[in-house]
Amino acid sequence: YGVPGTAQERTFIAVKPDGVQRGLVSDIIGRFERRGYKLVGLKLLVPSVGLAKEHYADLSSKPFFAGLVDYMTNGKAPVIGMVWEGPSVIKQGRVMLGATDPKAAGPGTIRGDYCLSIGRNICHGSDSAESAQKEISLWFGGKGEITNWTSNNAEWV
Ligand code: RTP
């Protein structure tokens, strides 16, 4: 499982606090479900500061880093963390989210449909196989937190 380029490719997708606050969780889950991807991990949490800093380690020198970590961890609303599985899910997950800056995100994408501000862009998706692996073990490191199960998507009539 989790091997890039296979039907078991996996990615980490999160609904950020603004997306949870705005009631967009079901819409975002629904888009991935209806596309045919399989949900294999799901949790609701207020991330620790340590988790958020590790997740965004690449951005630690950016001027917006402290604000980004506070927004993710202050508990005004929680985060939904998910692992989705299926063909090309890393790349297609990013396509479904839309551009990082929502002002550049196309209609039909999550960000293009629901937001305008880069600092409040509703969702996160792993940007590469390496990030997916790192983020899945960071957010779902505990034993039994990811479930292998069989969906019927492979057997349409
Ligand atoms: P994400 O990880 O959230 O999917 O976003 P990304 O890879 O497309 O973009 P990245 O450059 O890694 O930025 C991560 C998150 O940082 C916030 N950000 N704020 N100028 C700003 O205030 C600014 N720039 C980036 C966004 O929430 C972005 O998703």
pLDDT tens-place string over residues 39-83: 999 999 999 999 999 999 999 999 999 999 999 999 999 999 999
What separation, in Å, do the N-terminal and C-terminal C-alpha atoms of the chain show?
Answer: 25
* Predicted pLDDT at 89: 98
* Predicted pLDDT at 154: 63
**72 CB-side CA count, 13 A:** 24
Q: How many angstroms separate the CA atoms of 74 and 42, rounded?
A: 20
Q: How many angstroms separate the CA atoms of 28 and 12, rounded?
A: 13
pLDDT tens-place string over residues 83-127: 999 999 999 999 999 999 999 999 999 999 999 999 999 999 999
Tokens 């479900």, residue? 33
Query: What mean pLDDT value characterizes the chain?
Result: 96
Residue 65 counted as an annotated binding residue: no
Residue 32 counted as an annotated binding residue: no
* Predicted pLDDT at 45: 98
Residue 118 CB–ligand 1 contact under 6 Å: yes
pLDDT tens-place string over residues 130-155: 999 999 999 999 899 999 999 877 66
Q: Which residues pair with 82 in a beta bridge?
A: 13, 42
DSSP letters along 52-68, please?
HHHHTGGGTTSTTHHHH
Residue of 86, 78, 71 lying closest to 31 (CA atoms): 86
Choosing from 94, 100, 115 the residue with most ligand 1 atoms within 8 A of its CB, the one to mutate for a pocket test is 100
User: Strand 10-15 relative to strand 38-45: parallel, antiparallel, unpaired?
Assistant: unpaired
> Taking the model in full, what pTM does it have?
0.96
**Positive or negative torsion for Cα 26, 52, 139, 37:** positive
Residue 127 CB–ligand 1 contact under 6 Å: yes
Question: Quick check: is 55 catalytic?
Answer: no
Q: How many angstroms separate the CA atoms of 140 and 137, rounded?
A: 5
**Tokens found for residue 113:** 């449909």
Q: Which atom of ligand 1 is nearest to the CA of 121?
A: 27
